Amino acid sequence: MIIRLKNVSYCWPGQQQPTLNIPSLEVEKGEHLFLHGPSGSGKTTLLNLLTGINTPQSGQLEILETDIAKLSESKRDRFRADHLGVIFQQFNLLPYLSVLDNVLLSCDFSKTRLEKAGNAVETAKQLLLDMEISGDLLHSKVSSLSMGQQQRVAVARALIGNPEVIIADEPTSALDTDNRDRFLDLLFTESDKHGSTLIFVSHDTQIQHRFNRMVSLATINNVDNASDNNQINHNQADAK
Ligand SMILES: Nc1ncnc2c1ncn2[C@@H]1O[C@H](COP(=O)(O)OP(=O)(O)OP(=O)(O)O)[C@@H](O)[C@H]1O
């Protein structure tokens, strides 16, 4: 099992109720998991726990058999750089760097990924080519690229050095249907090539059939998000 959560609870500072209370979630090696749920249900919060940006107040969260909450902050940063490829909602590319340098950043932060990438510059170029970013764009500032192109650069950066887990937060939200489908083809091909596990958060239920498994956060998360609705129903019942 690549990812294992047991009784994981997370409460944002200042909140009365936990945002997440997940009795169990397990993800196998090589799985492509589609994670969905209404806005505000805690998808990004869960990704923050998986990437070690935040740590749960209780429960166990293991990635690659490592309980990342037990690592010091610097070890957690290292673990993330070595083993996780993250595609953020806003890509988090460095606008003043070139396309190529943005992809190489993952190897600058991790010796493990630098070694796995082999000749990192050639690997980055090949990945960008696979992502249909043409050679003449390699040295352009990344901010001069279109949204769709930047999204694909962010994927190349996440994939270089074959991290075991790829985590993507709404990566297709800015793409039209054709670009979205092509983007998914490339992402699946590249992650399958290296047996990477993919956790993909999206609202777009039109693409869920392309994944091995679909998980609704509302179903696995044991918090009472519906309390406001219950209150309304209750009040309506009282009024009758
Ligand atoms: N930085 C924060 N500080 C305090 N509370 C937060 C913070 N980020 C999120 N929350 C709380 O966690 C809840 C879940 O937010 P989250 O962003 O995880 O939901 P989501 O399912 O990813 O939503 P969306 O689909 O709109 O991106 C929010 O309703 C909010 O109450």
> Which residue, judged by its Cα, is nearest atom 8 of ligand 1?
45
Asked whether 163 and 113 are in contact (CB, 8 A), the reply is yes
Determine the pLDDT at residue 240.
35
**Domain-located, residue 7:** no
Average pLDDT score over residue span 177-196: 87
Residue 209: DSSP 8-state: G
Residue 157 has pLDDT above 50, yes or no: yes
The number of distinct structural domains making up the chain is 1
Residue 225 — pLDDT band, cuts 50, 70, 90? low
Determine the pLDDT at residue 227.
44
Residue 205 has pLDDT above 90, yes or no: no
Print the domain residue range for 95: 29-52+72-222
**Domain-located, residue 62:** no
- Rounded Cα gap, residues 147 and 112, in angstroms: 30
- Model pLDDT for residues 158-172, shown as the tens digit of each residue: 999 999 999 999 888
Residue 211 has pLDDT above 90, yes or no: yes
> What percent of the chain clears pLDDT 90, i.e. is strictly above it?
73
Residue 232 — pLDDT band, cuts 50, 70, 90? very low
Residue 24 has pLDDT above 90, yes or no: yes
Average pLDDT, the chain: 89
190's CB contacts (< 8 A; 6+ apart) are 127, 130, 155, 159, 196
Residue whose CB lies within 8 A of the most ligand 1 atoms, among 44, 48, 201, for a mutation test: 44
123: CATH? 3.40.50.300
**Domain-located, residue 141:** yes
- Rounded Cα gap, residues 194 and 202, in angstroms: 23
Q: How far is the CA of 100 from the centre of ligand 1 (A)?
A: 33
Residue 212 has pLDDT above 60, yes or no: yes
Q: How far is the CA of 46 from the centre of ligand 1 (A)?
A: 9
**Domain-located, residue 64:** no
**Domain-located, residue 208:** yes
**Domain-located, residue 132:** yes
Residue whose CB lies within 8 A of the most ligand 1 atoms, among 12, 167, 204, 205, for a mutation test: 12
- Rounded Cα gap, residues 60 and 228, in angstroms: 30
What are the percentages of helix, strand and coil residues in the chain, rounded to 5? 45, 20, 35
Residue 36 in contact with ligand 1 by CB distance below 6 A = no
**Domain-located, residue 106:** yes
Average pLDDT score over residue span 201-222: 92
**Domain-located, residue 10:** no
Residue 12 in contact with ligand 1 by CB distance below 6 A = yes
Determine the pLDDT at residue 234.
39
